[in-house]
Amino acid sequence: MKTYEIRTLADIYNLPTMEAMETCLDELKASMVQARATNDLICASAEALGHGINKAIQWPEVSKWIDDGKGEIVTKIKANDKEVLRVTSKPASDAISRKLAWHTGPAKGGGGTAQDEHPNSKGSWWVDGDLLLIVVELQSEDFVRLVYVNADGDTLCFQDPDSQDDIGFGPDDISWWARIEESLPNEK
């Protein structure tokens, strides 16, 4: 097991073997995607709660790549030089990439309901079976949640992805939402 400091692409190119170079690229890509997705989620959540921030996570000038064969991706989030969150994910080859395009929800005058599907709305609607990441702002609490859309016939409700239970609030409670583009691995 060896640790390499990565400052430039040349550091990756100069790794001892082609296999090490490919593995490092795969793992760094997964790490950057994980960090960026976390950054985008934090920024969108802060904006939805009225606290606009441009950047929550900054990529370090020097990355450390550990050639240990585990393929784990570790993202450390620090505040005032103190680690406040560490996310360790599956091996890079098993990583899931999510594309998030945030839309203003009905609670803020935006689109969202299955009935709002119009050709010129640029995907700013949801339909039956969509998996959404939503931001809900209620008088008592604000939260971010993953839900399935159930739009069978005249009924529109949101369900917990695991239990399939109705989560108990409607479209007018949703301030911001993003459709998760790819299906989860177990659903393919």
The pLDDT, as a whole number, for residue 188 is: 37
Domain that holds residue 117: 102-187
* SS3 at position 29: helix
Residues 153 and 83 in one domain: no
Residues 117 and 180 in one domain: yes
- Name the token pair of 127: 């339909």
**Mean pLDDT to the nearest integer, 106-128:** 62
The pLDDT, as a whole number, for residue 11 is: 95
Residues 127 and 87 in one domain: no
More confident call, 97 vs 162: 162
Residues 84 and 119 in one domain: no
Residues 159 and 89 in one domain: no
The pLDDT, as a whole number, for residue 187 is: 42
Which of 69, 94, 119 marks a domain boundary?
94
Tell me whether residue 83 is exposed, middle or buried, using C-beta atoms within 10 angstroms of its C-beta: 0 to 12, 13 to 18, 19 or more: exposed
Which is nearest to 103 in space by CA: 182, 181, 180, 178? 178
Q: How many domains does the chain have?
A: 2
pLDDT per position as a tens digit, 165-180: 888 888 888 888 887 7
- Name the token pair of 75: 């993202």
Q: CB 89: neighbour CB atoms within 10 A?
A: 16
Which of 50, 78, 94 marks a domain boundary?
94
Residues 60 and 109 in one domain: no
The pLDDT of residue 7 is above 90: yes
Residues 16 and 36 in one domain: yes
Residues 80 and 13 in one domain: yes
Residues 81 and 112 in one domain: no
* Helix residue spans in the chain (DSSP H): 9-13, 18-48
The pLDDT of residue 5 is above 80: yes
Residues 61 and 133 in one domain: no
Residues 67 and 12 in one domain: yes
Which of 37, 68, 94 marks a domain boundary?
94
The pLDDT of residue 26 is above 90: no
Residues 121 and 175 in one domain: yes
pLDDT band for 40, please (50, 70, 90 cuts): confident
* Average of per-residue pLDDT values in the chain: 77
Pick the range with the lowest mean pLDDT from 81-85, 99-103, 167-171, 175-179. Answer: 99-103
Query: How far out from the chain centre does Cα 67 lie?
Result: 26
Contact yes or no for 132/112 (Cβ under 8 A): no
